Amino acid sequence: MRLILLIDMDYFFVACEELRHPEIKGKPVIVGFDPKEGRGRGVVSTCNYEARKFGIHSAMPISIAYRIKPDAIFLPIDYAYYEKVSKSVVELAKRYSQKCEQVSIDEVFLDVSEKIKDYDGASEYAKEIKRAISDELHLPCSIGVSVNKLLAKMACEAAKPNGIKLVKQEGAKAFLRDIPIGKLYGVGQKTEERLKAMGYKTIGDVADSNSSRLSQVFKNFGNEIYNSANGIDDSEIIENWEVKSIGRERTFEEDTAEKTQIEEKIKEVSKEVFEELKAQNFYFKTVTVKIRYSDFTEHLKSKSLLHPSNDLQTIIDTAIKLFEQSAEEGRKVRKIGVRTSTLSERKGQKKIFNS
């Protein structure tokens, strides 16, 4: 039997801020983009439970959060600092199992199958980890315990906030049955709407349906949904993720159709992309420009070079050319982004021939 834990840090960015500003504890705190007295164009990144009482939540437009609670504490996102804290969490987690996958800045999977042999042991182990994170790092977290990543993730959602939840193999179907289908991992808004239109409201509805009906509508993805709904997931812990792309994007304070202003922004974000490539010692071969217009329609245009490059001017020139080819004259732009992909690490030339 596999035993998988998902450690998910509670309201992580705010918890990090509480570490260095203990005086904000107990007050509604929102980490996100500058609300600019209600005119800000960003969203809430994280908020604590005091703020959630007022209906504020992640991904909510920051302007609305400001309207609801203008006297809440609004803090900017200090990603570099959260990353440092995140590292300490991962290091602590690795003490409990080397087979470890960091899925995001605030989530870590642990495969403890080698060390723990039964559910009781896994629950005790989760308690121990949770206590260590609390005692040593002074951070709250929730832990899901189950037999695969999907169920550990779903268990963790049920454990929040500040809890531990075990879902045994034999209890998986009953656990999932009454959860709304939109909460199933991998089912977003679009898929939720389509599934509802087909008559499926809960995860149990999908689990009891037949996979061929889902495959007809959703192709391969249908089968994945069906398996997930039945708590089936064979995916392994991936210890080392390969970086596939590096990009930056920026929303204008006001939508603009002015070419010079847009090109300035392209240069700005290209420079940031270049710095990140340099820091990670990457060459790139493909440049992609993303344009979001006022009405939120997005267009991508990309170009692959003949050879890998690590040159800033190449990013800028390619990106501006792509923008000129793609942009529709006079149409106002909300956001512009530059992304590089087909990355290769250059620690000396690659061998072409093997002798």
Partner DNA sequence: TCTGGGGTCCTAGGACCC
Q: What are the residues binding DNA (CB under 7 A)? A: 33, 41-43, 45, 58-61, 63-64, 103-107, 153, 185-192, 219-221, 241-251, 272, 276, 285-286, 288, 296, 298-304, 334-335, 337, 339, 341-342
Nearer to DNA, 150 or 172 (CB): 150
117/4 Cα distance (integer angstroms): 11
Burial classification of residue 15, based on how many CB atoms lie within 10 Å of its CB (0-12 exposed, 13-18 middle, 19 or more buried): buried
165 φ, ψ (degrees, to nearest 5) = -135, 130
Specify the residue, 115 or 196, whose C-beta has the smaller distance to DNA: 196
| Sign of the torsion formed by the C-alpha atoms of 258, 260, 261 and 266 | positive
Which residue, 171 or 247, is less far from DNA as judged by CB? 247
What three-state secondary structure class fits 277? helix
Q: Which is nearer to DNA, 124 or 275 (CB)?
A: 275
Catalytic residue among 18, 101, 107, 224: 107
To DNA, the closest distance from the beta carbon of 314 in angstroms equals: 14
- Minimum CB separation of residue 118 from DNA in Å reads 27
Contact assessment for residue 28 and residue 53, using Cβ atoms and an 8 Å cutoff: yes
Nearest distance in Å: CB 148, DNA: 15
Cα(64)–Cα(70) distance, integer angstroms: 9
Q: How far apart are the first and last CA of the chain?
A: 44
DSSP 73-142: EEE---HHHHHHHHHHHHHHHHTT-S-EEEEETTEEEEE-TTT--SHHHHHHHHHHHHHHHHHHH---EE
Would residue 107 show up in a list of annotated catalytic residues for this protein?
A: yes
Q: In the block, which residue shows the tokens 């991904």? A: 59
How far is residue 167's CA from residue 344's CA, in Å, rounded to a whole number?
41
DSSP bridge pairs for 103: none
Least distance (Å) between residue 36 CB and DNA: 10
**In angstroms, what is the minimal distance from the CB of 25 to DNA?**
22
Residue 245, beta-bridge partner list: 341
Largest CA distance in the chain: 69
The minimum distance between CB 24 and DNA, in angstroms, equals 21
Q: By C-beta, is 119 or 292 nearer to DNA? A: 292
Question: What's the min distance (Å) between Cβ of 9 and DNA?
Answer: 9
Nearer to DNA by Cβ, of 117 and 219: the residue is 219
Contact in structure between 173 and 165 (CB atoms under 8 Å): no
For 50, the enclosing helix (H) or strand (E) is: helix 49-52
- For the CA atoms of 203, 204, 210, 212, the dihedral, rounded to the nearest 10 degrees, stands at 0
Catalytic annotation, residues: 107
